[in-house]
Structure 1
Amino acid sequence: MFDVSFSELMLIGVIALIVIGPERLPKVARTIGHLLGRAQRYVNEVKSDIQKEMDLKEIGDIKNQMEDAARSVQSSMTSSVDDLKTAVTQPTQALKDTLDQARQALDPMSPASTDATASATDAAGAAPPLAAPAADAPPATITPPAAEPTPEPAPVPRPATAPTDSSH
């Protein structure tokens, strides 16, 4: 810190001995040592506090960057999930609509077919009577025929081998 050589320290010590006196010099030196120690501790505490503040600021900046990155990942994941949901929902809805139309076309008691029958009745005057399904009868379902078990293949006969004569 200060560039003080040994000869300069000796000169200061001799002047202090002359000015202060030999009786009080050890007490003054001890007091100066304590004051310098306190000053060093204070400077070190200030340095460490400044370093902590700088570290906290850096950690806060890193935390903000991580939160921003997490938000961007979350928003991209949310948009990806939404895109995926719409990509799955649209064909599913189209299939449901097609299935509903097919059911309405096959079911004579559906509201769409009764509307069509009513409009046909208005146009023709009288509609032929529809056969009502029995109240206890379950809805008609198409069941595939039972598969017949396949027969196991017959074992393949092995050719007979002639015994070898080892007496030669």
Structure 2
Amino acid sequence: MIDLGISKLALIGVVALIVIGPEKLPKVARMAGTLLGRAQRYINEVKSEVSREIELEELRKMHKDVQDAAQNVEQSIHQTWNETEQEFRNLDQESESALLHTTSPQQLAIKAKNFRRKKLARTSAVPAWFKNRSGQRQRVISGSARMARHRANARPGSSFF
């Protein structure tokens, strides 16, 4: 930029006073100030627009990089998923072949019969309201809790306060 010191500004002021004259000098100085202000605002606007464009370009580049990274991650996840799924299929086939070779049909029938028997014991067809009416216990409580419940002279809980 132009380096203007106090001595150079004084020299310019004296030359302007001689050339323009003392009557028109304030108007010319005001006009020069407004033109200089407009020029500075225009330069600042251009600078800010250029910086916005640069930031926008950087954001576009960053967005593209993030999209590429996301696609790479997605591809690696799909690849890992497919590999794991293939391994499970291989293990399943191996276990089925091993199970068929080691267990006889009689053992499989016994296991199925025991499974049905256990399932029937867990999920009995007797409804809960019938169990309650017939006296079967639904909830088990301890002996001390039972004694406290059926105590003849039950005392209400006394408070310390």
Q: TM-score range by the shorter chain?
A: 0.5 to 0.7
Whole-angstrom CA distance in 2 between matches of 1:7 and 1:41: 27
- Does the residue aligned with 2:114 lie in a helix, a strand or coil? coil
The equivalences for 1:12-161 within 5 A come to 12-96=12-96, 106=105, 141-143=112-114
Of residues 10-19 and 26-35 in structure 1, the stretch that sits farther from structure 2 once superposed is: 10-19
Structure with bigger gyration radius: 1
Alignment-mate amino acid for residue 60 of structure 1: R
Alignment-mate amino acid for residue 113 of structure 2: I
Aligned CA-pair RMSD: 3.0
Whole-angstrom CA distance in 2 between matches of 1:59 and 1:43: 24
Match of 2:129 in 1: none
Kindly indicate which of the two structures has a greater share of residues assigned to helix: 2
Whole-angstrom CA distance in 2 between matches of 1:99 and 1:88: 16
What stretches of structure 1 of length at least 5 have no aligned partner? 108-138, 147-168
Per the TM alignment, residue 8 of structure 1 is displaced from its structure 2 partner at its CA by: 2.0
**TM-score normalized by structure 1?**
0.57
Match of 1:121 in 2: none
Alignment-mate amino acid for residue 17 of structure 1: L
Whole-angstrom CA distance in 1 between matches of 2:101 and 2:8: 108
Whole-angstrom CA distance in 2 between matches of 1:100 and 1:56: 65
Whole-angstrom CA distance in 1 between matches of 2:32 and 2:94: 92
Alignment-mate amino acid for residue 51 of structure 1: S
- Does the residue aligned with 1:142 lie in a helix, a strand or coil? helix
Q: Which runs of 4+ in 1 moved over 3 A?
A: 93-103
Whole-angstrom CA distance in 2 between matches of 1:34 and 1:44: 15
What stretches of structure 2 of length at least 5 have no aligned partner? 119-161
- Identity among equivalent pairs (%): 40
Per the TM alignment, residue 19 of structure 1 is displaced from its structure 2 partner at its CA by: 1.6
- Does the residue aligned with 2:90 lie in a helix, a strand or coil? helix
Whole-angstrom CA distance in 2 between matches of 1:7 and 1:44: 28
* Count of matched residue pairs: 114
